[in-house]
């Protein structure tokens, strides 16, 4: 259980450059088996790398388990964030989000908007000598999502109002040791949150005073809900939700896209087959310049396999937490009431018993498998159970459409960077710099 109070937190947060199961988890699996206990940031935690137990934990949410995150996460994401809300309130917020990012909205509105954003940005990047892909894709997705959620567009004349910058400070300390003193990553993270929340609050206030200024964005939904008699939505809950949605939408997808381009650069045979799939889509059109359709998106079978393989290897979410609501007996173990359970996706995704040569980038392993479905016992890149990520389809659309625009019109070469560090979340400490060129040049 480690040292008093801090437990084994220092070992858990220690940076590593491995793409395998994190050393912290791997060493303890060897020593204690697939389920073991530890103490992280002051809480006793049961770590499960067992697919059956993980599946059981997700399926029993709201009955034997509930969503739980360490106090530090609650500090970061807000006391009323969607991860800490349960039951009816959680379902209510989920439906609010699905109005904007659900299948209907994806087909009708988001697909063309994502394509437009990808084309505009790629065109811009091709005019530069090099582009740092992680930062560039994060900016592209942030601009798109912020516009959709809160009709926010960055105005360089108002330097104090760069919402994206507040999120950069926030991300740098997100999965860091929780020491809130000036100079630490965690302190910067809390400051970044404070700044972003102030801006969101001011925007909401401004919109409340101008009800006629209807934008058709998420703020509009929120304002309508807040006015309803007997509403369960409060302003703090709405603002925390907005914050989490903005963060989750751009940070995770830009990491996945950067890793995708890095892996495609390193695996020309995968790149070749993927390019062929996308070029065939363009060739089969009556008008080569027509916009991407929903049917074309759904026909990208190899692309779906590539995306699944990228997110399996990315393990962007290194841990998913739940809390036991009572003593639970399972597979010879007792999980005591009140203890946290940490489900470990990397241990599932890199399990050699399920995935042959688990560290190898091999999209063909998904051939014939149901890749459009949700989570399974052996695949939880987007969570599982009741809290399966509501943005899953939006993320997949963004990745597929970006790859389509890139592969049909551009080529690229890696310039520098691309090293990976996990703390335990994925990061590219020195970025991934590429040179992008139009194909006909």
Q: Of 81, 71, 20, nearest to 312 (Cα)?
A: 20
Token pair, residue 289, equals 């310049």
- 35-40 vs 43-48, strand pairing mode: antiparallel
Give the length of the chain: 441
Q: Of 176, 177, 183, 167, nearest to 251 (Cα)?
A: 167
Task: Return the CA Rg of the chain.
Answer: 22
Sign of the CA dihedral with 71 first, then 87, 311, and 275 last? negative
Sign of the CA dihedral with 124 first, then 127, 132, and 133 last? positive
Q: Of 17, 49, 45, 14, nearest to 31 (Cα)?
A: 49
Residue 214 is assigned to a ligand binding site: no
Token pair, residue 137, equals 């894709």
Known binding-site residues equal 389
Binding residues for heme: 389
């Amino acid at each position: 259980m480690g040292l008093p109070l801090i437990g084994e937190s220092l070992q858990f947060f220690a940076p590593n450059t491995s793409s395998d199961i994190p050393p912290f988890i791997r060493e303890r699996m060897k020593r204690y088996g697939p389920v073991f206990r530890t103490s992280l940031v002051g809480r006793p935690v049961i770590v499960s790398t067992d697919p059956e137990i993980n599946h059981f934990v997700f399926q029993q949410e709201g009955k034997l388990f509930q969503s739980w995150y360490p106090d530090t996460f609650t500090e970061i994401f807000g006391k009323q964030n969607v991860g800490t809300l349960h039951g009816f309130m959680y379902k209510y917020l989920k439906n609010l989000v699905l109005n904007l990012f659900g299948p209907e909205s994806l087909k009708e509105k988001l697909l063309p908007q994502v394509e437009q954003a990808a084309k505009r940005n790629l065109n811009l990047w091709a005019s530069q000598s090099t582009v740092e892909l992680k930062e560039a894709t994060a900016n592209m997705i942030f601009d798109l999502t912020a516009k959709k959620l809160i009709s926010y567009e960055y105005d360089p004349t108002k330097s104090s109002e760069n919402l994206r910058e507040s999120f950069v400070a926030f991300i740098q300390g997100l999965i860091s040791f929780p020491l809130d003193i000036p100079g630490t990553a965690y302190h910067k993270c809390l400051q970044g949150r404070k700044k972003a929340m102030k801006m969101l609050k001011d925007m909401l206030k401004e919109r409340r005073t101008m009800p006629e200024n209807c934008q058709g964005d998420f703020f509009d939904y929120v304002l309508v809900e807040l006015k309803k008699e007997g509403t369960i939505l409060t302003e703090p809950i709405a603002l925390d939700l907005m914050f989490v949605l903005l963060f989750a939408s751009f940070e995770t997808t830009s990491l996945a896209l950067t890793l995708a381009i890095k892996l495609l650069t390193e695996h020309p045979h995968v790149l070749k087959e993927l390019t062929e799939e996308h070029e065939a889509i363009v060739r089969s059109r009556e008008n080569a310049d027509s916009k991407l359709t929903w049917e074309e998106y759904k026909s990208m079978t190899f692309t779906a396999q590539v995306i699944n393989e990228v997110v399996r290897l990315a393990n962007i979410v290194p841990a998913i937490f739940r809390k036991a609501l009572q003593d639970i007996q399972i597979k010879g173990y007792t999980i005591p009431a009140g203890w946290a359970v940490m489900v470990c996706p990397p241990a599932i995704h890199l399990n050699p018993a399920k995935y042959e040569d688990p560290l190898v980038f091999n999209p063909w392993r998904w051939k014939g498998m149901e890749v459009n479905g949700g989570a399974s016992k052996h695949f939880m890149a987007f969570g599982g159970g009741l809290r399966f990520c509501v943005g899953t389809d939006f993320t997949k659309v963004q990745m597929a459409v970006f790859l389509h625009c890139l592969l049909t019109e551009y080529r690229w070469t890696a310039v520098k960077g691309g090293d990976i560090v996990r703390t335990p979340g994925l990061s590219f400490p020195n970025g991934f710099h590429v040179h992008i060129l139009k194909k006909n040049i």
